Amino acid sequence: MALLYGSSYQIPGTSPGALIAPADQPAGEAVLTLTRFDSSKVEEAVHVTPEDCRAWLAQAAEAAARVPEAEAPASKHANRAIFWLHISGTPDADLARRLQDSLGLHPLALEDVLNGGQRPKVELYDEHLFVVMTHVDYSGVDLRLYQTSLFLKGNLVISIDAGDDGLFLPVRERLTRGGRLRQLGPDYLLYALIDLIVDHKFPLLERMGSEIEDLETDLLEDPPADANRRLLRMKRHLLLLRRQQWPEREVLNLLLRGDKEMGIGKKTLPYLRDSYDHTVQLMDLLETYREVVTELQNALMLATSNRLNDIIRVLAVISVIFMPLTFIVGVYGMNFDPAAGWLNMPELGWAYGYPAVMIVMLGLTVGMLWFFRKRGWL
Amino acid sequence: MALLYGSSYQIPGTSPGALIAPADQPAGEAVLTLTRFDSSKVEEAVHVTPEDCRAWLAQAAEAAARVPEAEAPASKHANRAIFWLHISGTPDADLARRLQDSLGLHPLALEDVLNGGQRPKVELYDEHLFVVMTHVDYSGVDLRLYQTSLFLKGNLVISIDAGDDGLFLPVRERLTRGGRLRQLGPDYLLYALIDLIVDHKFPLLERMGSEIEDLETDLLEDPPADANRRLLRMKRHLLLLRRQQWPEREVLNLLLRGDKEMGIGKKTLPYLRDSYDHTVQLMDLLETYREVVTELQNALMLATSNRLNDIIRVLAVISVIFMPLTFIVGVYGMNFDPAAGWLNMPELGWAYGYPAVMIVMLGLTVGMLWFFRKRGWL
Amino acid sequence: MALLYGSSYQIPGTSPGALIAPADQPAGEAVLTLTRFDSSKVEEAVHVTPEDCRAWLAQAAEAAARVPEAEAPASKHANRAIFWLHISGTPDADLARRLQDSLGLHPLALEDVLNGGQRPKVELYDEHLFVVMTHVDYSGVDLRLYQTSLFLKGNLVISIDAGDDGLFLPVRERLTRGGRLRQLGPDYLLYALIDLIVDHKFPLLERMGSEIEDLETDLLEDPPADANRRLLRMKRHLLLLRRQQWPEREVLNLLLRGDKEMGIGKKTLPYLRDSYDHTVQLMDLLETYREVVTELQNALMLATSNRLNDIIRVLAVISVIFMPLTFIVGVYGMNFDPAAGWLNMPELGWAYGYPAVMIVMLGLTVGMLWFFRKRGWL
Amino acid sequence: MALLYGSSYQIPGTSPGALIAPADQPAGEAVLTLTRFDSSKVEEAVHVTPEDCRAWLAQAAEAAARVPEAEAPASKHANRAIFWLHISGTPDADLARRLQDSLGLHPLALEDVLNGGQRPKVELYDEHLFVVMTHVDYSGVDLRLYQTSLFLKGNLVISIDAGDDGLFLPVRERLTRGGRLRQLGPDYLLYALIDLIVDHKFPLLERMGSEIEDLETDLLEDPPADANRRLLRMKRHLLLLRRQQWPEREVLNLLLRGDKEMGIGKKTLPYLRDSYDHTVQLMDLLETYREVVTELQNALMLATSNRLNDIIRVLAVISVIFMPLTFIVGVYGMNFDPAAGWLNMPELGWAYGYPAVMIVMLGLTVGMLWFFRKRGWL
Amino acid sequence: MALLYGSSYQIPGTSPGALIAPADQPAGEAVLTLTRFDSSKVEEAVHVTPEDCRAWLAQAAEAAARVPEAEAPASKHANRAIFWLHISGTPDADLARRLQDSLGLHPLALEDVLNGGQRPKVELYDEHLFVVMTHVDYSGVDLRLYQTSLFLKGNLVISIDAGDDGLFLPVRERLTRGGRLRQLGPDYLLYALIDLIVDHKFPLLERMGSEIEDLETDLLEDPPADANRRLLRMKRHLLLLRRQQWPEREVLNLLLRGDKEMGIGKKTLPYLRDSYDHTVQLMDLLETYREVVTELQNALMLATSNRLNDIIRVLAVISVIFMPLTFIVGVYGMNFDPAAGWLNMPELGWAYGYPAVMIVMLGLTVGMLWFFRKRGWL
């Protein structure tokens, strides 16, 4: 059920922002990894606590304050340390409360993190920017949707990925290698994470696309027995993906338009626009797939009808040929007594009765076949 | 019929705001409960009359006036008494008229209360804010919609729930426990009631979702006989829910946008936005369910066709095999007299006639089976 | 044809506003009733002429002018005489021309009156406001649409109802009884007429709703033979109603927004908003009915397929059981001569041949039945 | 093909505005008729050349210049000569070039005239206003669309009608009779032509409407063999009409809104609004027809299924009755030798064997009929 | 698969603008052709390198600088040399990087060039305008989409056509012949290229249109066996085309509206508007085709049902006639011994038994035929 319903919810009437984990949630073994980088170096600490993060952040803020304001105002920004806290797995209520206390995250946002399966959305709280996106995993049979939550608060970026399977590893590698990701601010890191979630769907859709094409080929040649089931499953997957993709496109649109208040710099905008283009392209593909699958359903319906016609045509031909023949041989199986009167089946006693009947039946069969040929049944 | 039609109406031509209860309405045994609370205490009185409410309100206004203006202007608001009048069941015309007289509710709004089944809407009268929402009850077979009317007039909140089954109990409990609900103003109470009506639909939709999934599993394996009926019922329920959900989303949107004139404070806004998100999520789920049920209908249609094909295939195989065989044995049942001429069925007198015919028929059957196998009918 | 096409038109190329009645129009026996009322009294004259109206109006204007301006400027409005000219039936070209001359109605508006079946619309001419609405009559089988035209010109309201069956009687009665209708201005009278036309559709839709529910019950139990025909008729009726309802909602929306120039006072606005709500509710019901009827069509299609499956299943079971049996008895009806050789049907001469064959056939039948049971055909 | 594709085009890569007639165009025998009128008189010249028009226009401009400016500035406009050049048939490339040279028409506009089948549109060039509309001709079987191009340039109106069959004759007649058409300016003439093109579609749609109603009656009683073909043809015609009607409505909307720059006077506006209303009404009818035809397709599908059920029911009844009977008589046609043993078909030798079998078979038949009656098959 | 999926993508997580060619791309043998023209002469160089282009451009800029500013400021523009670099085939990563270095193209734009199959779009970078369009090729069976990328940077126009088959040859020829293309600026050259891509689809759609009409004719007479397959293919092609056409229309709309910043002159605008009209017309055709093909699918479904009805009707007629007859002859084939009792088949010994049975059977057949005729089965 989880797939179709797809979202947890708090018991109605609970006080909002109460940070209670939903009952059916597996025990969260969330792992926190804190990365600190600036243009010169990258440090990483695994299995940290929210309290550690607060300490690191306070320390960095202190260090920044020590740098004399006059000195290198331009380069200062470049050297500002940026923090990335990545939480793999869904936090439990306790961790959520500690995140709230240590890092000042808004309780309504944390409530959305606890109750996974939210629609993708952007929310700008006084304290920070909050972005929900969906991380999709497709095994060829099952489609799994995990909520990915992103926070942007000053120079701290927090990412929480419910279904973490190394999705953000490429960003981690690019961080180590240096480059633009290290030069630009936390907004660019946010973009890099969003970009990954978006682009992650391309290989998935490519796989779906090739499945659709395979089914199409099969279906036109000889509809497989499970075609109905496969088409239904595809439709549902596309439905679920589209349900995520529409608001995801809107997320990028909002980030693009509300750039300033959201703390997204001018340099990051063209990259976000690029991601936006990708979400549009994904929507486009999803719509196309949907329409193709609908067409395949129509085609399957027609193919099933055609197959039925085929079978019934054969049945009809056989019946129409053999019923009269069987009737004729039945006639000459009657036991009327030829001796009782000259009208009683004199054919039986005629020397050429049998061959004559055979010839008549042959003629009848040939006539029938000609009739079917003309009707296009053969 | 009530379900599909779903709304009462006054006899056309009646003067508007005439407060006449519709003819088919059951005798309303409406129970009025008045709750008075501020940050320090909660009082509750059951089975009150509108006149009692007026008295209480007047008394509170007097008390407030006695507090010197200069003293604690900030804390004054916090200590202001808030009144919540809850009416369980639909009022009759008499009660409506007394509500109008004692509490100054607008006759057009009261007319909407009397004639249940209105679309969810927000209306801002000079006197007060009027909100109509729908309280949904789903037993697994029947879907029942009750109108819930809410009034916000100064520090008085009135809620009228036609199908009261303790829907607002959680709010009452939270009031007793204190917390945000006691601190913030009457607008927050209004929000808490609205939030409950909205969130109440999540468990309901979860139940529907699992019914759909069950049906899907059944349908793909072996379409149950009542699949058509169940799908039709689901479609109708989703239709009725969607018809309520669209305007309900609009209600929250209007409350969010028209906050000031409607008397909704800044502190309540983020919570209302949260409720709005929930209405969007509900719409989203309803649309998804609708599309899934449509897909199930298509799949059922195809499954029915496939089943028909199956049956007809078996019929055709049997007919096509036995018709020629029956013809052959019919031939040798004919009574032509072998004695009348050497051409008249000499096979009958041949020593190996019977086994030869049996072998021919066996060969024919094997040929047929090979033909069917090739055609994929077996 | 008139129903589907639904609108008369002038021969293309005719000069606009030429006031020529369409050829197929029945001879109009339009009856004019003039009502004059103020807060103190009501007068009514039947079978008046447009020229009479002009005289009355001139007289009233004179009387109003005689009242000294200084005296009671507030009460003056209240005492201003209001005129309501009701025309029952469609006017002929001659009457239209006299209405134009005597009362100054715009020729393009009168052309729309002559050529019935216009879409509901509001048009503001320099001279007056012109509103077209549709008065619907439903007998359970036929749906009839009549154009109702309304004019608001100063203190004169003109209503022309093509299919007059006492639609406006309730307004007449309320006028006699006094009340708000007598106190407020001509715009409120206009509202009262519009409100009646709108609300008139509620009982009609309730009736349709119960027809749909009846059909649904029938259809799920045993599709009646005329289900297809009834569904088609319902769809058409809903189509025609919707075609009227969309623009009718727009009419009320325009009246609400363009209030000032259209001469609609502030006091009438909340009432018009109420009517607007009703048009929205009607649209909503129509859409719901439409979707329910579409679902019923799908369900009927499926029920028809199921029925076919049922019939064919019985046919198949019988055929599959009796074809092999008939073949077997055919075999032992063959006339091979057992005397011609020991291989020629020795069974015939065996003492237990007949019971053995009977037992074989019984076994075959039992096997078949088991096979069908397993396949779920029985 | 021309109908579906419906538009000519220039070979891609041709220089725009090159005025080359499309290859498949029939040799245009375009006839030019110039009409000159003012409030006092009408003159008409057939078979003129573009050069003649230029001469006439120059002469009129000269005459107008001679009138002293001071004299009758108001009446001057009224007496200004208006020219109407009507071209019947599509011009060839040569004529187009001469129109460009003599009358200063824009080459891109003339290109659109040469390549018929454009979508209805309004274009405002510096030199003149250019309007494309569609003139529709319906024979009951074929739907033909002709492009009608209109130019408004100062006091000259040019109309080019590709499928001229006297469409504009009524305007010509009204011009001769005088009236508003002679009083108002060239914009009113433009309106009169547009109005004719729009209103021309009403009788056409009335005819389609009655065809649809006829088909509906037939279909519900006994679906005619060509119902599928007729429905398909109707759908295509409605599709093609709608494809023209949408932009045509937009044309009138643009003319209404962009009145000033387009040279359309205030007096003509109410008439254009009237035409706009007609285009809306036409759209409305087209949509209604489309939906009705779709409903008829559904009904035909259901009727076809019902018919199939009928046939198969009869087939099933006959088979189910006669198969067991045929089996029974087959049993007693077996040749087991009663003499070989007392178990071998003793019935054959029983004195009441034959009548007993007949009675059994009768009972079986009666039982079957009762079974069918209960199942509702008879 | 490539067709449905239709776009390459970079491995998710790759740094944006990294200019890595997708893995499955064929080795690009891109050929660069540089054309330099002004109003007086045209020069062309094939197989140039990006570095050559830079040299040419620098040289031209120098020459332009040498011309004294005062001299002929008007004619200067006319004589300004314009460069057109055409790249046939998709560039590889190396060429892309050299284009970036030599000509200053934006890396994100070049990334879109490398990863073909982008949606048509316009992007305005600081450095240049970037337009993506789609070049379509249709062989009657396969539909191939190639990305065409266009850059406008000062007086340089770059066109990159992935599927180059001489698409732009007509522009090249018109350049040689002189005319408007040589007079107007680089924006007009850009327009000419865009116009060609747009208009290129007209002959393609004409071809599709005639295929649809052919299929329609076939289908109504006798549905060909591959009708289902052909309709499915058409639907897919139309789907893919529409997916390109929507954004392509938007491209032209954006170019029209954002003219100034994009460097498109006033003189080019009317021509772009013309191209825009063509994209609208193409969309319109695509939608019409789509709806026609959908109608054909419906018609095919109905035709298949009708055909099935036909076959089953024949089957039913034959069965219903011959089953009773076969039963009757079976009766008289029973072996009851007439000698055992006077009730045992005395007909067999009656002198007129045989002719009587024959007459009864004839009568039965005639009765059946009359029944079928009445039912409309024959």
Q: Rounded to a whole number, what is the distance in Å from the CA of E211 to chain A's nearest CA?
A: 19
**Using an 8 Å Cβ cutoff, are C267 and C184 in contact?**
yes
**Using an 8 Å Cβ cutoff, are A7 and A115 in contact?**
yes
- Give the pLDDT confidence score for residue E169 in this predicted structure: 87
Per-residue model confidence as pLDDT tens digits over D25-41: 655 678 899 999 988 88
pLDDT band at E26 (very low <50, low <70, confident <90, very high): low
Instruction: Note whether A253 and A151 are same-domain residues.
Output: yes
Taking an 8 Å cut-off on Cβ atoms, the answer to whether E171 and D13 are in contact is yes
- Give the pLDDT confidence score for residue E24 in this predicted structure: 62
Q: Rounded to a whole number, what is the distance in Å from the CA of D322 to chain E's nearest CA?
A: 6
Mean pLDDT for B149-164 is 89
Instruction: Output the domain CATH number for residue D243.
Output: 3.30.460.20
Helix (H) or strand (E) holding D251: helix D227-257
The interaxial angle of helices E186-199 and E227-257, nearest 10 deg, is 160
Distance CA D151, CA D160 (A): 9
Q: How many separate helices (H) and strands (E) can be counted in chain A?
A: 12, 7
Q: Rounded to a whole number, what is the distance in Å from the CA of B55 to chain A's nearest CA?
A: 31
Instruction: Note whether B273 and B298 are same-domain residues.
Output: yes
Asked if residue B276 has pLDDT above 50, the reply is yes
Which of chain A's residues have a Cβ under 8 Å away from the Cβ of B343? 351-352, 354-355
Instruction: Note whether A355 and A222 are same-domain residues.
Output: no
- What pTM value is reported for the model? 0.84
Q: Does C312 touch chain D (CB under 8 A)?
A: yes
- Give the pLDDT confidence score for residue E259 in this predicted structure: 65
- Give the pLDDT confidence score for residue A26 in this predicted structure: 60
Instruction: Note whether D193 and D321 are same-domain residues.
Output: no
Taking an 8 Å cut-off on Cβ atoms, the answer to whether B352 and C345 are in contact is no
Asked if residue C19 has pLDDT above 80, the reply is no
Taking an 8 Å cut-off on Cβ atoms, the answer to whether B200 and A345 are in contact is no
Distance CA E17, CA E112 (A): 9
**Final residue belonging to a domain, choices B256, B282, B302:** B302
Q: If phi over 0 gives left and psi between -120 and 50 gives alpha, with beta otherwise, what is residue D324?
A: alpha
Q: Is A105 in a helix, a strand, or coil? A: coil
Distance CA C60, CA C54 (A): 10
Which of C7, C235, C354 is opposite residue D344, by nearest beta carbon? Answer: C354
- Give the pLDDT confidence score for residue D76 in this predicted structure: 46
Question: How many structural domains compose chain C?
Answer: 2
Distance CA A105, CA A112 (A): 12
Taking an 8 Å cut-off on Cβ atoms, the answer to whether E312 and A313 are in contact is no
Sheet holding B42-46, edge to edge: B42-46, B31-37, B82-88, B156-161, B143-153, B129-138, B121-124
Instruction: Note whether B298 and B319 are same-domain residues.
Output: no
Q: Rounded to a whole number, what is the distance in Å from the CA of C353 to chain D's nearest CA?
A: 7
Asked if residue C170 has pLDDT above 80, the reply is yes
Instruction: Note whether C286 and C340 are same-domain residues.
Output: no
Phi, psi of D80 (to 5 degrees): -60, 135
Interface of E with A in 88-147 (CB under 8 A): 108, 118-119, 121, 123, 125
Nearest CA in chain E to D350: E340
Sign of CA dihedral E153, E157, E158, E161: positive
pLDDT band at B294 (very low <50, low <70, confident <90, very high): very high
Asked if residue C333 has pLDDT above 70, the reply is yes
Distance CA C258, CA C187 (A): 13
Per-residue model confidence as pLDDT tens digits over A66-79: 766 555 444 445 46
Nearest CA in chain B to A244: B284
Taking an 8 Å cut-off on Cβ atoms, the answer to whether B212 and A4 are in contact is yes
Q: What residue ranges of chain A have pLDDT lower than 50?
A: 1-2, 72-76, 78
Instruction: Note whether D295 and D316 are same-domain residues.
Output: no
Instruction: Output the domain CATH number for residue D344.
Output: 1.20.58.340
- Give the pLDDT confidence score for residue B193 in this predicted structure: 93
Per-residue model confidence as pLDDT tens digits over E324-357: 999 999 999 988 888 888 888 888 888 888 889 9
**Final residue belonging to a domain, choices B271, B302, B333:** B302
Q: Rounded to a whole number, what is the distance in Å from the CA of B230 to chain C's nearest CA?
A: 10
Q: Does D311 touch chain C (CB under 8 A)?
A: no
- Give the pLDDT confidence score for residue E183 in this predicted structure: 84
Q: Is D1 in a helix, a strand, or coil? A: coil
Q: Which chains touch E (3 or more CB pairs under 8 A)?
A: A, D
Closest CA to D247 of D121, D117, D113: D121
Asked if residue B173 has pLDDT above 70, the reply is yes
Interface of B with A in 194-213 (CB under 8 A): 195-196, 199-200, 202-203, 205-206, 209-210, 212-213
**Using an 8 Å Cβ cutoff, are B267 and B188 in contact?**
yes
- Give the pLDDT confidence score for residue A160 in this predicted structure: 92
Instruction: Note whether D92 and D166 are same-domain residues.
Output: yes
**Final residue belonging to a domain, choices C302, C324, C353:** C302
Distances (CA, A) of E273 to A351, D105, D244: 94, 17, 20
Mean pLDDT for C266-275 is 88
**Using an 8 Å Cβ cutoff, are A37 and A180 in contact?**
no
Tokens read off for C321 = 């059981």
Q: Does E240 touch chain A (CB under 8 A)?
A: yes
Distance CA A161, CA B191 (A): 31
Instruction: Note whether B315 and B296 are same-domain residues.
Output: no
Distance CA B214, CA C268 (A): 54
Closest CA to E361 of A328, C47, D8: A328
Helix (H) or strand (E) holding A143: strand A143-153
Which of chain E's residues have a Cβ under 8 Å away from the Cβ of D355? 343
The maximal CA–CA distance of chain C, rounded, in angstroms, is 137
Which of chain E's residues have a Cβ under 8 Å away from the Cβ of A333? 329, 333
Mean pLDDT for C260-266 is 82
Q: Does B335 touch chain A (CB under 8 A)?
A: yes
Distance CA D72, CA D78 (A): 10
Instruction: Report DSSP letters for C92-115, one per residue.
Output: -HHHHHHHHHHH---HHHHHHHHS
* Residue C194 domain-assigned (yes or no): yes
Instruction: Report DSSP letters for A268-289, one per residue.
Output: THHHHHHHHHHHHHHHHHHHHH
Q: Is E97 in a helix, a strand, or coil? A: helix
Q: Could you tell me which residues are beta bridge partners of residue A132?
A: A121, A149
How many C-beta neighbours within 10 Å does residue D43 have? 12
Which of A10, A232, A237 is the best residue to mutate to test the B interface, defined by the most B CB atoms within 10 Å of its own CB?
A: A232
Most confident range (mean pLDDT) of B129-143, D206-220, E320-334 is E320-334
Which of chain E's residues have a Cβ under 8 Å away from the Cβ of A284? 119, 243
Per-residue model confidence as pLDDT tens digits over E30-55: 889 999 998 888 989 988 999 989 99
Instruction: Note whether B154 and B66 are same-domain residues.
Output: yes
- SS3 sequence of B300-348: HHHHHHHHHHHHHHHHHHHHHHHHHHHHHHHHCCCCCCHHHCCCCCHHH
pLDDT band at D23 (very low <50, low <70, confident <90, very high): low
Which of chain D's residues have a Cβ under 8 Å away from the Cβ of E330? 325-326, 329-330, 333
Q: Does A24 touch chain B (CB under 8 A)?
A: no
Q: Does D266 touch chain C (CB under 8 A)?
A: no
The interaxial angle of helices D353-375 and D269-331, nearest 10 deg, is 160
Which of chain B's residues have a Cβ under 8 Å away from the Cβ of C216? 232
Q: Is A138 in a helix, a strand, or coil? A: strand
Q: Does D10 touch chain E (CB under 8 A)?
A: yes
Which of chain A's residues have a Cβ under 8 Å away from the Cβ of E350? 340-341
Q: Tell whether ipTM is more than 0.90.
A: no
Sheet holding D129-138, edge to edge: D42-46, D31-37, D82-88, D156-161, D143-153, D129-138, D121-124
Distance CA A125, CA E65 (A): 55
Asked if residue D353 has pLDDT above 80, the reply is yes
Distance CA B30, CA B49 (A): 11
Task: Give me chain D's average pLDDT, please.
Answer: 85
Per-residue model confidence as pLDDT tens digits over E120-176: 999 888 889 999 999 888 877 788 888 899 999 988 999 998 876 788 888 888 888
- Give the pLDDT confidence score for residue E27 in this predicted structure: 56
Structural domain including B320 reads: 311-375
Which of C189, C193, C334, C365 is the best residue to mutate to test the B interface, defined by the most B CB atoms within 10 Å of its own CB?
A: C334
- Name all contacts of D126-130 with Cβ < 8 Å and 24+ positions apart: D127/D153, D128/D104, D128/D152, D128/D153, D128/D154, D129/D153, D129/D190, D129/D262, D129/D263, D130/D106
Mean pLDDT for C347-363 is 90
Per-residue model confidence as pLDDT tens digits over E192-218: 999 999 998 988 888 898 899 888 888
Mean pLDDT for E59-78 is 64
Q: Is B157 in a helix, a strand, or coil? A: strand
Which of A206, A295, A303 is opposite residue E235, by nearest beta carbon? Answer: A295
Class of residue A267 by CB neighbours under 10 A (exposed 0-12, middle 13-18, buried 19+): middle
Mean pLDDT for B302-324 is 90
Instruction: Note whether D58 and D149 are same-domain residues.
Output: yes
Task: Give me chain B's average pLDDT, please.
Answer: 85
Tokens read off for E230 = 């052909």
Instruction: Note whether E222 and E320 are same-domain residues.
Output: no
Q: DSSP character for B127? A: S
Tokens read off for C115 = 């050529």
